[in-house]
Amino acid sequence: MSDTQQFADLNNARIAFFDLRPEVPTKKTILLIHGFASTARVNWMMTGWAKVLMDDGYRVVALDNRGHGESSKFYSPDDYGPDIFVADALQLLDYLGLKQVDVLGYSMGARITAWLAWQNPERVRRAVFGGMGEHIFGGRGGYETIAEGLEVDDPSTITDRGAASFRKFADMTKSDRLALAACIRPSQHKITPEIVAAIHTPVLVAVGTDDDVGGSAEKLAAMIPNAEAFAMPGLDHMKATGAPVFKARVLEFLRK
């Protein structure tokens, strides 16, 4: 498996991406959208997701969201939001000549996937919301606290547990902390119950039962007309990311 990233100038940003097995027919292509403070390599390559999907016959396209990984960094919240992330993803699909794909998003990537399925349903064959259930609407909150935790020089001064966890992860992935702080500050565009209720694409909502970041998979799936829930027993937000049970359930869903 090649680990060489490619780059495309899209939507006023330079977007880094992997395109693995491009010879595979378009109807067997999946777009992977990573979570906050992660990257395509960390979320999808290092966890074994890319290999599992390719072994199942998929062409795998995985991008670094703006502000993350090797893609362009911006330092104003105005340069982020689900609508902007979706525009990046759509332009990447257009750049690669892909009209319709399956989409798997994790955490923040699930929010982006939901916006994409709502706004451009003709581009999404099936969608997986990983690590994001009822909190897709921002119910967990604390984003300003997380942003401030990303901005401080000394992480030992962070008293909020959630902010400390995100800071630790951002440092582990060697992220641009100031770009992430801008990214997580509230966007003027938000996912709402009305938006998810208008998604008619087949959706799998997969969240760990111990995931206090994502919240209940069942509660979100009940709001989406053509969705099914998968609660991963005993898994939290981090442990669920590359869990074998998660991979197996996604493959089952995609094969339907």
CATH of the domain at 56: 3.40.50.1820
Domain for residue 183, yes or no?
A: no
Domain-embedded: residue 158: no
Question: Is 155 contained in some domain?
Answer: no
pLDDT given for residue 162 in this prediction: 85
Task: Give the residue numbers spanning the domain of 110.
Answer: 6-138+190-254
Domain assignment of residue 113, yes or no? yes
| Residue 234: per-residue pLDDT | 98
pLDDT of residue 1: 46
Show the tokens assigned to 52. 């599992």
Percentage of the chain with pLDDT > 90? 90
Q: How many domains does the chain have?
A: 1
In a domain, 44, yes or no: yes
181 in a structural domain: no
Say which amino acid occupies 251: L
User: Residue 156 corresponds to which amino acid?
Assistant: S
- Is 128 within a domain? yes
pTM, whole model, 2 decimals?
Answer: 0.96
> What is the pLDDT at residue 141?
64
pLDDT tens digits, 146-198: 999 999 999 999 999 889 999 999 999 999 999 999 999 877 788 999 999 99
Task: Answer whether residue 150 is part of any domain.
Answer: no
Say what the alpha-carbon torsion angle 80, 237, 100, 6 is, to the nearest 10 degrees. Answer: 60
pLDDT (0 to 100) of residue 138:
80
In the prediction, which pLDDT does 32 show? 99
pLDDT in tens, 137-155: 986 667 899 999 999 999 9
**Taking a C-beta distance cutoff of 8 angstroms, is the pair 63, 71 a contact?**
yes
Query: pLDDT tens, position by position, for the chain (256 residues)?
Result: 457 899 999 999 999 999 999 999 888 999 999 999 999 999 999 999 999 999 999 999 999 999 999 999 999 999 999 999 999 999 999 999 999 999 999 999 999 999 999 999 999 999 999 999 999 998 666 789 999 999 999 999 999 988 999 999 999 999 999 999 999 987 778 899 999 999 999 999 999 999 999 999 999 999 999 999 999 999 999 999 999 999 999 999 999 8
